[in-house]
Amino acid sequence: MDFNLTEERRMLQETLRRYLTDRYTTEVRNGIISSEAGLSAEIWAELAELGVIGALFAESDGGFGGAGFDIATVFGELGRAGVVEPFLDTAVLGGGLVAALGDDGQKALLGDVIAGGLHLALAHGEPASRYDLSRVETSVRGDGDDVVLSGRKAVVINAEAAGYLIVSARESGGFFDLDGISLFLVPAGSKGVTLRGYPMLAGGRAAELVLDEVRLPGTARLGEAGKGFAPLMDAVAAANVALAAETVGAMESAVELTRAYLMTRKQFGRPIGTFQALQHRFADLLIELEQARSAVINAAGHLEAPDRDRQIAAARNLIARAGRLVAEEAIQMHGGIAMTQEYELAHIAKRIVMAEHRFGDADYHLERFIALSAA
Amino acid sequence: MDLSYTDEEKAFREEVRAFLAEKLPKAVSDKVRAGISLGKEGHDDWHATLNEKGWLAFNWPREFGGAEWNAVQRHIFEEECALAYAPRIVPFGLSMLGPVLQKFGSKAQQDYFLPRILNGAHWWCQGYSEPGAGSDLASLKTRAVRDGDHYVVNGQKTWTTLGQYANWIFCLVRTDPEAKQQEGISFLLIDMDTPGIEVRPIVLLDGTPEVNEVFFDNVRVPVENLVGEENKGWTYAKYLLTHERTNIAGVGFSQAGLDAVKRIARIESAGGRPLIENPHFAARLARIEIDLMGMATTNMRIISQAAAGQAPGVESSMLKVKGTTIRQEINDLTRRAVGPYAMPFASEMIEGDNDPVGPDYAAPVAVQYFNNRKLSIFGGSNEIQRGIIAKMKMGG
**What is the per-residue DSSP string for B35-61?**
T---HHHHHHHHHHHHHHHT-TTTTS-
Tens digit of pLDDT for each residue in A293-329?
A: 999 999 999 999 999 999 999 999 999 999 999 999 9
B-chain CB neighbours of A135 within 8 Å are: 272
pLDDT score at B245: 63
Provide mean pLDDT across the span A26-50. Answer: 97
Chain-wide mean pLDDT for chain B? 93
Contact at 8 Å (CB) between B270 and B338?
no
Q: What percent of chain B is modeled with pLDDT above 90?
A: 79
Spell out the residues 6+ positions from residue A74 whose beta carbon is closer than 8 angstroms to its own. Answer: A12, A16, A52, A55, A56, A87, A242, A245
User: B40-76: per-residue pLDDT in tens?
Assistant: 999 999 999 999 999 999 999 999 999 999 888 999 9
Residue B246's pLDDT is: 64
Predicted confidence band at A224 (pLDDT cuts at 50, 70, 90)?
very high
Spatial CA neighbour of B32 closest among B333, B368, B388, B265: B368
Q: Does domain A230-374 have CATH number 1.10.3720.10?
A: no
Task: Quote the minimal CA–CA distance from B286 to chain A in Å.
Answer: 15
Would you say residue B296 has pLDDT above 90? yes
Nearest to B345 among A201, A278, A340 (CB): A201
Contact B295, B255 (CB under 8 A): no
* pLDDT given at position B244: 61
pLDDT at B308 over 70: yes
Considering B78, B230, B244, B268, which one is annotated as catalytic?
B244
B227-275 tens-digit pLDDT:
999 999 999 998 887 766 667 889 999 999 999 999 999 999 998 899 9
SS3 label, residue B231: coil
> Which residue among A131, A206, A366 sits closest to B339, beta carbon to beta carbon?
A131
- Residue to mutate among A124, A126, A130, A205, with most B CBs inside 10 A, is A130
Catalytic site includes residue B244: yes
Query: With contact defined as beta carbons under 8 Å apart, do B87 and B32 qualify?
Result: yes
Determine contact, residues A41/A117, Cβ cutoff 8 Å: no
Report the residue of chain A nearest B349, measured CA to CA: A198
On the question of pLDDT at A226 being above 70, the answer is yes
Query: Helical H runs in chain B?
Result: 7-23, 26-34, 39-53, 71-83, 91, 98-104, 107-118, 233-244, 251-267, 279-307, 314-337, 347-351, 365-371, 382-394
Q: Which residues pair with B344 in a beta bridge?
A: A200
CB–CB contact A155 B340 (8 Å): yes
B70-96 pLDDT, tens digit per residue, is 888 999 999 999 999 999 999 999 999
Q: How far is B382 from chain A (nearest CA, A)?
A: 9
**Amino acid B365: pLDDT:** 93
Spatial separation of the C-alpha atoms in residues A44 and B382, rounded to whole Å? 42
How far apart CA A246 and CA A240 sit, in angstroms, is 10
Angle at Cα A141 formed by Cα A140 and Cα A145, nearest 5°?
120
Q: B221 to chain A, minimum CA–CA distance in Å?
A: 29
Beta carbons within 10 angstroms of residue B256's beta carbon: 20
pLDDT of B271 = 86
Range of lowest pLDDT (A52-61, A65-74, A198-207, B303-312): B303-312
Amino acid at B20: L
Indicate yes or no: CB of B374 within 8 angstroms of CB of A339.
yes
CB contact under 8 A, A339 and B377: yes
**What is the reported pLDDT for B347?**
64
Which residues are paired to B109 by β-bridges? none
Contact of A81 with A347, CB cutoff 8 Å: no
pLDDT at B160: 96
> How close does chain B come to A85, measured CA to CA in Å?
15
- Tell me which chain B residue has its CA closest to the CA of residue A366: B280
Which candidate from B357, B366, B383 shows the least CB-CB separation from A198? B357
Q: What is the pLDDT of residue B363?
A: 86
Chain B residues near residue A336 by CB distance under 8 angstroms:
129, 134, 158-159, 211, 374, 377-378
CATH superfamily, domain at A7-115: Acyl-CoA dehydrogenase/oxidase, N-terminal domain (1.10.540.10)
Across the interface, which of B202, B340, B345 has its CB nearest the CB of A154? B340
Q: Report CB contact under 8 Å: A332, B369.
A: no
Res. A125: pLDDT tops 90: yes
State whether B202 and A340 contact (CB < 8 Å).
yes
Radius of gyration of chain A (CA): 21
User: What secondary structure does DSSP assign to A147-207, as a single string?
Assistant: EEEEEEEEEEETTTT-SEEEEEEESSS-TT-STTEEEEEEETT-TTEEEEEEEBTTSSEEE
Q: How far is A240 from chain B (nearest CA, A)?
A: 15
**In the structure, what pLDDT confidence band is assigned to residue B349 with cuts at 50, 70 and 90?**
very low
Strand duo A221-222 + A181-187: pairing: antiparallel
Sorted by where each begins, the domain ranges of chain A are 7-115, 120-226, 230-374
Residue A303 dihedral angles phi and psi, to the nearest 5°: -60, -30
Instruction: Tell me the β-bridge partners of B153.
Output: B144, B219
d(CA B376, CA B382): 5
Nearest CA in chain B to A335: B377
Task: Please check the confidence at residue B352 and state whether its pLDDT lies above 60.
Answer: no
Contact A201 B206 (CB under 8 A): yes
Backbone φ and ψ of A340, nearest 5°: -95, 140
Rounded to the nearest angstrom, the gap between the alpha carbon of residue B53 and the centroid of all alpha carbons in its chain is: 22
Dihedral (Cα; A336, A340, A345, A350), 10-degree rounding: 110
Query: Alpha carbon of A335 to those of A244, B129, B337, B384: distances in Å?
Result: 27, 12, 27, 12
Which is it for strands A120-123 and A164-170: parallel, antiparallel or unpaired?
Answer: parallel
Burial profile B118-131: b = 16 or more Cβ within 10 angstroms, e = fewer: bebebbbbbbbbbe
Are A7-115 and A230-374 equal in CATH topology? no
Sorted by where each starts, the structural domains of chain B and their CATH numbers stand as 7-91 (1.10.540.10), 123-231 (2.40.110.10), 249-394 (1.20.140.10)
Closest CA to B161 of B226, B219, B208: B208
For an interface test with B, give the residue of A26, A153, A198 to mutate (most B CBs within 10 A).
A198
CATH 3.40.640.10 given to domain A120-226: no
CA distance A79 to A74: 9
B-chain CB neighbours of A156 within 8 Å are none
- Tens of pLDDT, residues A142-189: 999 999 999 999 999 999 999 999 999 999 998 889 999 999 999 999
Q: Helix (H, G, I), strand (E, B), or coil: what is residue B124?
A: strand
Q: Between the CA of residue A29 and those of A16, A34, A43, A202, A208, what are the distances in Å? A: 16, 9, 10, 11, 24
